[in-house]
Amino acid sequence: MALVVAGQDTLGTAGTFDVTFPYDSTVVATVGAASAAQMNSAIAGAAAAAGPLSAAAPFERADVLRAVAEAIERDAVDLAAGVTLETGKPITEAEVEVRRAATTMRLAAEEATRIGGTVEPIDAVAGGEGRWAEARWFPLGPVAAITPFNSPLNLVAHKIGAAIAAGNPIIVKPAPATPLSALSLGRLTVASLDDHRLPAAAVSVLPCGDDVADRLVTDRRIKTFQFTGSTGVGWQLASRAVLTSKRLLLELGGNGATIVHRDADVAHAAARCSIGGFLLAGQVCASVQRILVHRDVADTFLSALVGQVRTHVLGDPRDRRTTLGPMINAAAASRAERWVADAVAAGAELLVGGPVRGTLFPATVLTGTDTTMQVACEEVFAPVVTVERYDDFDEAIAEADRPGSGLQVGLFTSDLTLVRRLYSAAHVGSVIVNDVNSWRVDPMPFGGWGTSGYGREGLRREIRQQMDERLLVQTIPPRPATSGAVPTRGDQS
């Protein structure tokens, strides 16, 4: 399959790699890998396209993105099938992702026309008299985005949509396991740029090795570096990207928690946790991993949760009855299986679970865990949740706010005082009330504190973080002196 290099379909020249269906490991596509020369061509194309794209009127960039949204909807069946084949995501979840990607592009189009600016009251102080000032936002220049496997269409839509809306070219390096959706979206965007007579070289999608991708970190022509993925890799790349004066946007996930207080609607909380912990087999950056339940309702909650979790259907993600598909590969499943086994050996109780078959990992619920166990203190990134009891709400806050949990926290309660206490204390990007910590819609600011990230996704924030503010100060010339003569009637309007 061809790459998208500066708006052109081009065969990769650094070898090929297979994209496999996680359910049965069959090869669904063979994709070329970009070479160092092709990466340089992409960066050069992006640098050349930066001027014309930034000069395009906001409505023109918005028109490009609306057309991409329409193309996504037109190709929705094929795109959803492709998402399922490369990720193993159940087809019903893949269809949701396609709809979200179209919405993301429309949101980006709307935000493109709202960038605007402000009038600054500089004459509010002595020395500012006789001057006007306005501040406007201008695109920084080419963006590099490295994206993960778990949302191969919508997360790429966020990156491409925000960049085009801001007036910035973009180069996307998709996860090697899931490049197909990114390549499809890249081609749809290139076609729309061509149709609207804007530079197609503004978009490149380059599956490639880490050595080639390193240019995205080190090349000074790249002005913004975005990374969605694991904490260790993200911060390592960021530490090098800042050396070339890049703007950083990092979304790095974490070990997320949801609190169920004693006044919660327990049945609703259990139903939501049974979904939030197992979407895409738990391979979601904000997945429900740790559930903290007040002791007064813990037994009732556990009974409801276990009953809900047992209804998950594990199997072929192309089957509409399947609610839990495979993990991305056997190595990931084996690692998570080992973590669960280690926890059980150390005293944790397995309430729901079973043997792992290749990439098929049954929905798993543990209790009796502690912070010495990897399933409790690290991001498991698998269909595994732990449930632990608490007595005091401050105890629950402290547990939910452990290092590495800085993305989102969920809280089920009707007590607004508790909501405010958690909101004031938790070092997280979002507090989600009466829903799980994995809840998200695409317009909202989304990102983490501390090791969980830097900056925010969500179209308005993404666009603004790829731009910089520039102030214009204009001195108003004094009025010319007049003779003081009174105008005649003919001079008056």
- As annotated, the active-site residues are 251, 285
Of 307, 271, 53, residue with least CA distance to 163: 53
68: its two tokens:
């991409």
Q: C-alpha angle with apex 449: 432 to 158, nearest 5 degrees?
A: 75
CA dist., res. 74 & res. 192, Å (int): 14
Of 171, 183, 218, residue with least CA distance to 44: 171
Give the chain's count of helices (H) and strands (E): 15, 20
Q: C-alpha angle with apex 75: 278 to 447, nearest 5 degrees?
A: 40
212: its two tokens:
């080639």
- Spatial contact of 97 and 151, defined as CB atoms under 8 Å apart: yes
Backbone φ, ψ for residue 135 (5° rounding): -120, 130
CA dist., res. 477 & res. 168, Å (int): 36
- Spatial contact of 185 and 172, defined as CB atoms under 8 Å apart: no
CA dist., res. 242 & res. 224, Å (int): 10
- Spatial contact of 251 and 446, defined as CB atoms under 8 Å apart: yes
**DSSP letters for 250-317:** EE-----EEEE-TTS-HHHHHHHHHHHTTGGGG-STT---EEEEEHHHHHHHHHHHHHHHTT--BS-T
CA dihedral 451, 457, 463, 467 (to 10 degrees): 0
Q: Which H, E and C letters describe 201-223, residue by residue?
A: HHEEECCCCHHHHHHHHHCCCCC
Q: C-alpha angle with apex 70: 68 to 76, nearest 5 degrees?
A: 100
CA dist., res. 101 & res. 155, Å (int): 8
CA dist., res. 274 & res. 268, Å (int): 10
